[in-house]
Amino acid sequence: MTSAKRSAERNVRRIEWRIRLHEIPLIIGLVILWMMLWREVSLLSAVSGLIVAFVAMRVFYLPPVDLAGRFNVWWAARYLGHFLLQLGVASWNVAWLAVKPGPAPKTSIIEVPLRTRSDFILTMVGLTISLIPGSLVVEVDRYRSTLYLHAIDTPTGVEVAAMRAEVARIERLLIMAAGSKEEMGKVR
């Protein structure tokens, strides 16, 4: 066997071990979830949870999510504060629309292109928008990094533009909290 071939095999094994090391938090999380579901912390529940976790990870394979490797507490706190404020305001607005006399509010399906290419940020933006009352993600185009939202009370282009601006604001806060340096350069 040539030295180049041995070196290539070593590199492949090193990459496989790195992937395995990334699975450890998922395995631990699944075992903890298993024990919580059974409401029992014991050796038997831990071992059975480990077996179920391995089987689940092999049968339902998910590609690894690439994280930026950085986390900014200040921007995360700003994101959380903005989310809680929007949650309160939107809850009030939706409650008012439910009891307000008159015709039903107009709704729209809005296409919102994002600046990020990160699956993690894309998912977090979609989850955040869906948790705020009055909007819901109905489709995600992962390859074009585009969200399609169903938004309530959007009768004119002004409200549609405001919804797009709100999604861009949430995306910016998430990128500043946990995005890559390249993405941070795009949103500054």
pLDDT tens, position by position, 90-117: 999 999 999 999 898 999 999 999 999 8
Of residues 25 and 154, which shows the higher confidence score? 154
Burial class (CB in 10 A: 0-12, 13-18, 19+), 117: middle
Model confidence at 179, pLDDT cuts 50, 70, 90, reads confident
Asked whether residue 105 falls in the same domain as residue 138, the answer is yes
Asked whether residue 176 falls in the same domain as residue 84, the answer is yes
Asked whether residue 45 falls in the same domain as residue 101, the answer is no
Show which of 59, 82, 102 is a domain's final residue: 59
pLDDT at 64 over 70: no
Asked whether residue 169 falls in the same domain as residue 111, the answer is yes
In our burial notation (b when 16+ CB lie closer than 10 A, e otherwise), range 153-181 reads bbeeeebbeebbebbbebbbbbbbbbbbe
Chain position carrying tokens 């909007």: 135
Percent of the chain with pLDDT strictly greater than 70: 88
∠ CA 121-123-125, nearest 5°, is: 70
Asked whether residue 138 falls in the same domain as residue 180, the answer is yes
- For residue 99, tell me if it sits in a domain: yes
Asked whether residue 165 falls in the same domain as residue 142, the answer is yes
Asked whether residue 120 falls in the same domain as residue 151, the answer is yes
- For residue 93, tell me if it sits in a domain: yes
Query: Can you give the residue range of the structural domain that contains 50?
Result: 3-59
- For residue 67, tell me if it sits in a domain: no
65 Rama class: left (phi>0) / alpha (psi -120 to 50) / beta: beta
The 3-state DSSP composition of the chain as helix, strand, coil percent (nearest 5) reads 65, 10, 25
Model confidence at 21, pLDDT cuts 50, 70, 90, reads low
- For residue 65, tell me if it sits in a domain: no
Q: What is the pLDDT of residue 49?
A: 93
Model pLDDT for residues 114-162, shown as the tens digit of each residue:
999 888 899 999 999 999 999 999 999 999 999 999 999 999 999 999 9
Asked whether residue 85 falls in the same domain as residue 19, the answer is no
Asked whether residue 30 falls in the same domain as residue 78, the answer is no
Q: Is the pTM of this model over 0.75?
A: no
Over the chain, what is the mean pLDDT? 88
Asked whether residue 90 falls in the same domain as residue 175, the answer is yes
> Taking a C-beta distance cutoff of 8 angstroms, is the pair 138, 109 a contact?
yes
- For residue 109, tell me if it sits in a domain: yes
- For residue 68, tell me if it sits in a domain: no
- For residue 91, tell me if it sits in a domain: yes
User: How many structural domains compose the chain?
Assistant: 2
Question: Nearest CA to 133 among 185, 71, 89, 68?
Answer: 89
> Taking a C-beta distance cutoff of 8 angstroms, is the pair 179, 116 a contact?
yes
d(CA 49, CA 40): 11
